Structure 1
Amino acid sequence: MAKKAMVEKWKRGSKYKTREYNRCEVCGRPRAIYREFGLCRVCFRKMALEGKLPGVKKASW
């Protein structure tokens, strides 16, 4: 779980033009973000298994 202060700082935006970084839209995790979905790997897996992401299914071969 991300620190609340860092999540709030990320949501607020920057005062000056600086480099921005991605965070998970659900939990605020700063690493392992899938850009197409805006989710971290943990939230992506959880939501995909619950069927909340259309077009995503578990691979089996």
Structure 2
Amino acid sequence: MAKTNMIMREAKRAKLVAKLGKKREVLKAKIISPTASYEEKQEAAVALQKLPRDSSYTRQRNRCKLTGRTRGVYKKFGLARHKLREAAMRGEVPGLKKASW
């Protein structure tokens, strides 16, 4: 089990991304825009830098829904590799079975 504070930090990041994601996209579009003037681009860059770092989508980390583990997490299932295997053995994951050849 991961530390509770790390799991809570990740939840806080997810909230910030949901809250400020649109604003970040608008500012990034303005910076990239070929029609915007140099001053407008500079203002947008400064505004983007003033936003919290954790509001960036790339700061988020995939975590297991059951344990909070960050490594070996399958995006499709949201579980770490060992918890996915346990769930598959119990038959809780439809369409997934142990390979044998």
Q: Percent identity?
A: 43
Which of 38, 56, 61 lines up with 2:96 in the alignment? 56
How much is the aligned-residue C-alpha RMSD, in angstroms? Answer: 1.4
Q: In the alignment, what sits opposite 2:4?
A: 4
Q: Which runs of 5+ in 2 are unaligned?
A: 17-51
2:99 and 2:76 mapped to 1: Cα distance? 18
Residue by residue over 1:1-46, the C-alpha shift from the partner in whole angstroms, topping out at 9 and shown as x without a partner, is 2111111221233543232110001110011110111110011011
TM alignment of 1:28-43, pairs within 5 A:
28-43=68-83
Q: Which runs of 5+ in 1 are unaligned?
A: none
Letter paired with 2:10: W
- Structure with greater helix percent: 2
1:8 and 1:42 mapped to 2: Cα distance? 22
What TM-score do you get using the length of structure 2 for normalisation?
0.55
Max Rg structure: 2
1:37 and 1:50 mapped to 2: Cα distance? 15
What TM-score do you get using the length of structure 1 for normalisation?
0.86
